[in-house]
Amino acid sequence: MDKLYSIGKSNPRMAAMLLLFGLLMASLEIAGAQIGVCYGRNGNNLPAPGEVVALYNQYNIRRMRLYDTRQDALQALAGSNIDLILGLPNDNLQSISSSQANADSWVQDNIKNHPNVKFRYIAVGNEVNPTGSQAGFVLPAMQNINKAISSAGLSNQIKVSTAIDTGVLGVSYPPSSGAFKNEVLSFLKPIISFLVNNNSPLLVNLYPYFSDLSNMNYALFTAPGVVVQDGQLGYKNLFDAILDAVYSALERAGGSSLKIVVSESGWPSAGGTQTTVDNARTYNNNLIQHVKGGTPKRPTGPIETYVFAMFDENNKSPDLEKHWGLFLPNKQIKYQINFN
């Protein structure tokens, strides 16, 4: 401390430059650390998990979303310092919701047995149909997993949530009028209360691609100016408009304090309308840069975001679902992308 003070006194300009440089580097580190990539494994030609983790490190991808608990991936992540969203698959929800002992065993097997993995969130279910047969299992499963995490002394490190899609919105335009469908409120409101009480974020899978392709500049972050004016707020891209519509819906449902983590977003490179390599490159590169800031409604960023997906997955259907990867299964990058 004395040395730093003496430098500041003898050369204030140098001290100011060092301070600004330090703040810049800190801000770049914080911004860069917000981006993750989803590691889906629904393919028969994908590289081994150890090679995948090495690829994340090679490209400085510091966060990962996994959709299941296959042990080879968890073992490969040990010591990697990659932050992880770990999925509890939908077909496990009933078992976990029905028994605290089952939840305790799940946490023991998949969390506590991997002390060198940096778990960040547990996603209890992914895009569960709010009016379907599994809907009633989601909140009890979240509660049981949360109890197990708390009993393990990990509640300050690992937050429990679930991932929803934006199909739960009944109103999305303008963003300030965002509201959930009436028929999903009985499903979502108790989950929102759980998240608020436990200071956990809501995970949202957010795809402009599936929302509106009528204005491609608006969808790809390339509009030269405001496209949608919503009161005092101007929207230049569809991503922000959808995200702020979800924030507005949360406010109407008792979740005004919640933070949203964008747990999936991306653009396919083949298989459907406007699915070109150029559009995928444009969207994903612009997404990575854009989420360093906030939205018009929530301007304080960055927005923690996970790009979908790491690889093309050939076991998916229809054909559109096969082509979301940033990388080919042979680990070759599909197009130039800057994760920084």
Asked if 310 and 332 count as a contact pair (C-beta separation under 8 A), the reply is: no
Asked if 244 and 176 count as a contact pair (C-beta separation under 8 A), the reply is: yes
Report the amino acid identity of residue 134. Q
Rounded CA separation 95/283 (Å): 39
Asked if 225 and 156 count as a contact pair (C-beta separation under 8 A), the reply is: no
pLDDT at 2 over 60: no
What is the predicted pLDDT for the residue at 340? Answer: 78
Catalytic residue, candidates 264, 304, 313, 321: 264
Helix then strand then coil, in percent of the chain rounded to 5, is 45, 15, 40
What is the predicted pLDDT for the residue at 16? Answer: 42
Asked if 335 and 276 count as a contact pair (C-beta separation under 8 A), the reply is: no
Average the pLDDT over 75-83 and give the result.
Answer: 98
- pLDDT of 41-70, one tens digit each? 999 999 999 999 999 999 999 999 999 999
Tell me the two tokens of residue 21.
């440089």
The pLDDT-based confidence of 34 (bands split at 50, 70, 90) is confident
pLDDT at 161 over 70: yes
Catalytic residue, candidates 51, 127, 183, 321: 127
Is the peptide bond prior to 302 cis by the omega test (within 30 degrees of 0)?
Answer: yes
Residues 6+ apart with CB under 8 A from 246: 166, 169, 178, 202, 204, 206, 260
Q: Is 313 a catalytic residue?
A: no
pLDDT at 87 over 90: yes
DSSP annotation of 16 reads: H
Q: Is 127 a catalytic residue?
A: yes
Asked if 146 and 160 count as a contact pair (C-beta separation under 8 A), the reply is: yes
Residues 6+ apart with CB under 8 A from 13: none
Is the peptide bond prior to 174 cis by the omega test (within 30 degrees of 0)?
Answer: yes
pLDDT at 21 over 50: no
